[in-house]
Amino acid sequence: MHTIEQLTLLLEQRIKETGLPKEPTNLYAPIEYTLESGGKRIRPLMVVVASEMYSDNIDSAIYAALAVEVFHNFTLLHDDIMDNAEVRRARATVHKKWSANIAILSGDATVIHSYNLIAKCCVENFYDVINTFNTLATLVCEGQQYDMDFESRDDVTIDEYINMISLKTSALVAGSLKLGAQVAGAPKEDCDALYEFGVNLGNAFQIQDDLLDTYGNAATFGKRIGGDITEGKKTFLLLTALDKCSPKQKIELQEILASATFSEQERIDKVTAIYNDLSIKSFTEKKIDEYFTKASDILAKLNIDSAKKEVMYKLADLLINRNK
C-alpha cells in the first residue's frame, strides 16, 4: 500500500506522459495545457486508493485513474465555455486562450482520450469497468444540465439541488471509487458500498464548496469570496435561506439578488447578513457533517484491513478539508 504522497507523485508522472500525438497542434496543445495545470488529483487518487484496498497490482487502476482525471478535465474545459469563465487554476481558460471552437473540439478529443485510457484497463471484468465509466460520464452530463436549468428557475427545491450535485459532482467521486474497486476485483457489495461512500463524500464536498464561497478564506479558497452570491447561483446556502426565511426576508433577499443598483460587494454583504441572521453557516456545517458521517459509517462497515481504510480516510479528509 502506497501513501497518498507516493501515489500523487506517481500520478503526476503518468499524467505528464500523456502519449498524445503532437499534431494537429490546435487539437492537442489545449489538452496538454488543461492536464498540466493540475489540481489536487483527488479523483484519480480515489481510484488508486480504492484499488489498493483490494489488490497490490495497480497497473489497471492507474489507467482508470488517468481516464477519470482526463474525463474531469474534459468537463472543466466544456463547462468553462458554457459558463464563459475566463480563468481556471490561475490561467486563461482554453476558449479564451484559443477559441470557443477549439475548446469544443479539443474537449471532444479529451473525452475520447479518456476512453482510450479506460480501454487500457486489462481486466477480466472489463464490461463492468466500462459500464461504470459510461454511467458516471452520463450522470455528470445530467448534473451539468440540471445546474444550467436552475439558472433560469426560481422554484428550485433543496431536494432538487441535492439531486443535481449528486450527479454533477458526486457521481464522479463515487464512480472513481467504484472503478478502483472493480479493476482490483473487489466483491460487488464492496464496489456498491464504496459508490455510496463516494456519493455522500461528494455531497459533503460540494456543499462545503458552497459554504467556502461565502464564508471561506479568500487567500486559500482560490476564488473570489462571494462569487456565487453576485452570480445569483442556486447554492445550498441560498436555497436553505429561501426555505428558512420569513416572507418579508424572502422578498428582501429576492430584491437584493435582482437589484442592479447595488455594487457587487454591497450585494455580498447584504445577502451574507441575511444568511447570518438565519444561521445558514451552522446549518450548512451540520449538513456537511451529516453527509461526511454517513460516508464514514459506510467505510467503517467495510470488511477490510483497517490500515487500508486509513489511507482512504486521509484521502476523504483531503477532499473535505481543502482550503479550510
Site string for a copy of itself, 40-79 (x = CB under 8 A): ----------------------------------x---x-
Residues 218-257 that bind a copy of itself (CB under 8 A): none
Cell readout for 304 is 477490510
In 3D space, the residue among 95, 84, 82 whose CA is nearest the CA of residue 34 turns out to be: 95
Q: Nearest-CA neighbor of 317 among 295, 302, 301, 287?
A: 295
Q: Using an 8 Å Cβ cutoff, are 241 and 278 in contact?
A: yes
Segment near a copy of itself (CB under 8 A); pick from 32-40, 41-49, 130-138, 191-199: 130-138
Could you say whether residue 144 binds a copy of itself (CB under 8 A)?
A: yes
Task: Show the CA angle centred on residue 106, arms to residues 100 and 109, nearest 5°.
Answer: 145
Q: How far is the CB of 231 from a copy of itself (least distance, A)?
A: 15
Instruction: Tell me if 19 contacts a copy of itself by CB under 8 A.
Output: no
Query: Phi-psi bin for 84: left (phi > 0), alpha (psi -120 to 50), beta?
Result: left
Closest separation in Å from C-beta 192 to a copy of itself:
19
Q: Which of 1, 10, 92, 119 binds a copy of itself (CB under 8 A)?
A: 119
Q: Is the peptide bond before 24 cis (omega within 30 degrees of 0)?
A: yes
Cα Rg for the chain, rounded, in angstroms? Answer: 20
Q: If binding is defined by CB under 8 A, does position 178 make contact with a copy of itself?
A: no
| Residue 48 CB, nearest approach to a copy of itself (Å) | 22
Report in angstroms how near the CB of residue 312 gets to a copy of itself at its nearest. Answer: 28
Q: Which stretch binds a copy of itself (CB under 8 A): 9-17, 53-61, 141-149, 273-281?
A: 141-149
Helix/strand/coil for 99: coil
All cell numbers assigned to 314: 486521509
Q: Could you identify the residue written with the cell 492536464?
A: 35
Q: What is the C-alpha to C-alpha distance for residues 69 and 77, in angstroms, rounded to an integer?
A: 12
Write down the least CB distance from residue 44 to a copy of itself, Å.
19
The verdict on 297 binding a copy of itself (CB under 8 A) reads no
Q: Which of 5, 124, 127, 159 binds a copy of itself (CB under 8 A)?
A: 127
Binding segment for a copy of itself (CB under 8 A), chosen from 56-64, 97-105, 217-225, 282-290, is 97-105
| Block residue for cell numbers 452570491 | 229
Tell me: does residue 141 bind a copy of itself (CB under 8 A): yes
CA distance linking residue 53 with residue 49, whole number of Å: 6
Distances (CA, A) of 250 to 108, 211, 214, 238, 284: 42, 20, 19, 11, 19
Q: Does 88 bind a copy of itself (CB under 8 A)?
A: no
Is 318 an interacting residue with respect to a copy of itself (CB under 8 A)?
no
- Which residues of this protein are in contact with a copy of itself, per CB under 8 A? 21, 23-24, 26-27, 74, 78, 81-82, 101-102, 104-105, 107-109, 111-113, 115-116, 119, 122, 126-127, 130-131, 134, 137-138, 141-142, 144-146, 148-149
